Amino acid sequence: MIYVVKSISIQVHRNFTIWPMSDWKDTFFMNKSALIEQIAKRSELPISQSRKALDAILESITEALSNGDRVQLVGFGTFKVTDRKSREGRNPKTGEVIQIPASKTPSFTAGAELKKSVNGRD
């Protein structure tokens, strides 16, 4: 969640600590639009076709995970569903102990080639 206070952007982190977004001025976040532009540029496809291709990939991965399947892209990584056990938690407002139900969550494990590339060991 990003707020603008007196023209200064701040980031609210999960544990509610606040720090200035100016600390991140040299950081680039690739969003879906930027990824579509990169796909179009590298594949020499029009942006509309690149958008359709990315949407098809994301829908396919989502559908596979919804069916409980793994999606393995050799060298890049593996998408899978992991089970989270039920557990006790606390209501932050009241401090009351509550039961958090079991759930499934998607996860990603980076492949060897991706790890090497990220660590500069091409």
| pLDDT surpasses 70 at 1 | no
Note whether residue 64 is domain-resident.
no
Q: Provide the pLDDT for residue 25.
A: 59
- Per-residue pLDDT, averaged over 4-11, amounts to 43
Note whether residue 79 is domain-resident.
yes
Residue 106 near residue 65 (C-beta atoms within 8 A): yes
User: CB under 8 Å, gap of 24 or more: what pairs does 83-91 form?
Assistant: none
- Measured in Å, how far apart are the chain's first and last C-alpha atoms? 35
The owner of tokens 């982190």 is 13
10-64 residue pLDDT tens: 444 444 455 555 555 566 678 999 999 999 999 999 999 999 999 999 999 999 9
The range of the structural domain enclosing residue 103 comes to: 70-122
Q: Tell the burial category of 4 from Cβ atoms under 10 Å away from its Cβ (0-12, 13-18, 19+).
A: exposed
How many domains does the structure of the chain reveal?
1
Q: Provide the pLDDT for residue 50.
A: 95
The CATH number of whichever domain residue 107 belongs to comes to: 4.10.520.10
